[in-house]
């Protein structure tokens, strides 16, 4: 990793990279759900609808018309299983390319699962008469039941394994003290350990109540190697980015981040917010008016991205694509972003779905970094956003979408 700055990469070039690498420019859109996931490394899945909406925003139109993101994601996730839903970075639920699951598990989830199990045993023994041996036997029965059934809901497992219905007092002596079911904690731990996996939801594609199934083994990768491999994928999609961006996205210690950057030979570049990093073969300038690999025209693009979409959640420092003046409208108090409207690499507004199903949106006003559409681009932006809203409404159909984490602008728009 070089000690001197090789060159400067400004906001315009970063937005040009984003347009293509995140499959947002029109001609850069993907043909499959797994292409989208591979381009973004991981799709946020805490809110089940995000996976489908994030893919839908990036799928190219099919030869016979608009794509069907629901069928496409379900094929990849439940049919061919080329995508895997799992806990990953920052203890967060993601959908990742199945070939990357072992890397995510070894780099991030494995250490977190150890802490989760330790916490479970500690609270279980302090808040009940149960011990580690009792827990081990409960796990054995759960895994045996899942193996026999193939898949089951939490309720079905609770009926078949009565131990799962046991209660204990969580957080004895703390302000979090309260009753907790063994099932809710144990199934989470087994999922994080990669011993069971979330299957199809119990409801439609917006449901977060999943069936459980035995998980195929991820395979073992040394942690250092896995972290370096994850950083290699992440920089290819999100570089240039700062050390702080990577630490925030992964949830790792700064020593892990620095070791992984060194392992991939990351090169230093200058960004507006300080020193950034790119892969060693990613230093060539990117044309600003013609996104690499797209088309000979510089046609502008618009996108309606969902709450928790990987693109706006990809960096800790966001001033190069979002005017700081609009953060309060778009984020909740925990830092979760709501639905956003994009124009040529900037967040320029937000959107929501009303109770009657209509997709409504609003562009911000002002001339800040994230809102200046330019004198000649205003009408073009409105037309492009209208087209994306109509495209979204067409495939969402009668389904109603309410983000799991409500944000001020989303709540305001949805109530209009």
Q: What is the pLDDT of residue 359?
A: 97
Give, in order, the Cα–Cα distances in Å from 328 to each of 312, 337, 409: 14, 10, 9
Q: What is the pLDDT of residue 366?
A: 56
Domain ranges of the chain: 96-203, 322-414
Determine the 3-state secondary structure of 30 from DSSP: strand
How far apart CA 319 and CA 370 sit, in angstroms, is: 8
Q: What is the pLDDT of residue 155?
A: 93
Closest-CA residue to 215 (of 191, 196, 189, 200): 196
Phi, psi of 288 (to 5 degrees): -85, -35
Q: What is the pLDDT of residue 171?
A: 84
Determine the 3-state secondary structure of 147 from DSSP: helix
Torsion of CA 140, 146, 152, 154, to 10 degrees: 10
**What predicted TM-score, i.e. pTM, was given to this entire model?**
0.92
Q: What is the pLDDT of residue 170?
A: 87
Helix (H) or strand (E) holding 407: none
Determine the 3-state secondary structure of 210 from DSSP: strand
The rounded average pLDDT for each run of 10 residues, N- to C-terminus, in the chain (416 residues) is: 71 95 94 97 97 97 80 96 96 96 97 94 92 95 96 95 93 87 94 94 92 91 98 98 98 98 97 96 80 52 97 97 96 96 95 97 67 58 94 95 96 94
């Amino acid at each position: 990793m070089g000690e001197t700055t090789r060159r400067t990469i400004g906001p315009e070039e970063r937005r040009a990279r984003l347009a293509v690498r995140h499959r947002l420019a029109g001609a850069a859109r993907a043909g499959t759900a797994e292409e989208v996931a591979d381009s973004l490394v991981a799709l946020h899945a805490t809110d089940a609808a995000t996976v489908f909406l994030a893919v839908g925003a990036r799928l190219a139109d099919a030869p016979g018309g608009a794509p069907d993101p629901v069928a496409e994601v379900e094929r990849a996730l439940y049919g061919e299983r080329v995508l895997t839903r799992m806990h990953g970075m920052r203890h967060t639920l993601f959908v990742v390319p199945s070939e990357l699951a072992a890397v995510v598990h070894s780099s991030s989830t494995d250490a977190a699962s150890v802490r989760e199990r330790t916490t479970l045993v500690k609270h279980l023994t302090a808040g009940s008469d149960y011990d580690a041996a009792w827990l081990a036997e409960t796990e054995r029965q759960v895994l045996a039941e899942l193996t026999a059934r193939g898949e089951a809901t939490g309720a079905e497992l609770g009926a078949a394994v009565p131990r799962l219905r046991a209660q204990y007092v969580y957080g004895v002596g703390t302000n979090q003290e309260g009753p907790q079911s063994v099932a809710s904690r144990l199934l989470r731990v087994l999922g994080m350990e990669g011993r069971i996996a979330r299957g199809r939801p119990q409801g439609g594609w917006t449901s977060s109540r999943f069936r459980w199934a035995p998980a195929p083994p991820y395979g073992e990768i040394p942690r250092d190697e896995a972290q370096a491999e994850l950083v290699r994928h992440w920089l290819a999609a999100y570089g240039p980015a700062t050390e702080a961006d990577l630490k925030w996205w992964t949830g790792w210690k700064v020593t892990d981040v620095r070791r992984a950057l060194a392992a991939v030979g990351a090169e230093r570049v200058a960004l507006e917010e300080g020193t950034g990093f790119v892969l060693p073969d990613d230093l060539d300038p990117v044309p600003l008016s013609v996104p690499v690999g797209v088309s000979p025209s510089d046609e502008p693009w618009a996108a309606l991205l969902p709450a928790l979409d990987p693109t706006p959640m990809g960096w800790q420092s966001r001033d190069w694509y979002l005017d700081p003046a609009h953060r309060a409208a778009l984020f909740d108090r925990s830092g979760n972003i709501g639905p956003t409207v994009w124009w040529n690499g900037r967040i320029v507004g937000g959107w929501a779905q009303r109770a009657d199903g209509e997709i409504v949106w609003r562009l911000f006003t002002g001339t800040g970094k994230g809102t200046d559409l330019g004198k000649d681009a205003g009408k073009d932006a409105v037309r492009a956003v209208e087209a994306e809203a109509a495209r979204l409404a067409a495939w969402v159909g009668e389904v109603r979408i309410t983000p799991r984490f409500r944000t001020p602008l989303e709540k305001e728009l949805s109530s209009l």
